[in-house]
Amino acid sequence: MLNQFDIGNRMELDRLFSSKTFDVVFHFAAKALIAESVVNPGLFFQANLVSAIALLETLRKHGIRKFVFSSSAAVYGSPAVVPILEDHAKEPVNAYGESKLMLERVLQWYAAAYGWSVVAFRYFNACGGGESWGERHDPETHIIPPFASCVGPPEILCNIWR
């Protein structure tokens, strides 16, 4: 079943987590246009941090303590070396990367304070594009499309991602 609503909507979240049992939550939602994050950072902090904290608090209320977060390699900013190692300095250069790093830090506090198990994945271009965007992979090398394929065919997914 697909549920579509803002992850900052605590009433909808509460309704969802009251209606079913969840062992783990995978959080892939984010506002992600880098250029827009530079000129309108508030939208990104609201969508990617504040709304995510509403999600975390609702999970805590419902006793869900396993969380997988789709972060971003944007937390590294302009890396001094490539390939980027996990312990490379985290110095985001835009609000998108900063919002992802801030949520990673929030998750560390939730893990310490509430005994949560948390995983944060950092990667570049997790979903890729479509034919009209000039990118197609066969076999698929991005992480989100294989997860999304469980929902249905690409025609349905286009409506979900927009």
Enclosing H/E stretch for 38:
helix 34-39
Residues 6+ apart with CB under 8 A from 135: 128, 129
pLDDT at 138 over 90: no
Residue 81 CA to residue 1 CA, distance in Å, equals 43
Residues annotated catalytic, as ranges: 96
Structure tokens at 61: 């209320």
- Write down the mean pLDDT value for the chain: 85
pLDDT tens figures, 93-134: 999 999 999 999 999 999 999 999 999 999 776 555 555 554
Q: What is the pLDDT of residue 127?
A: 56
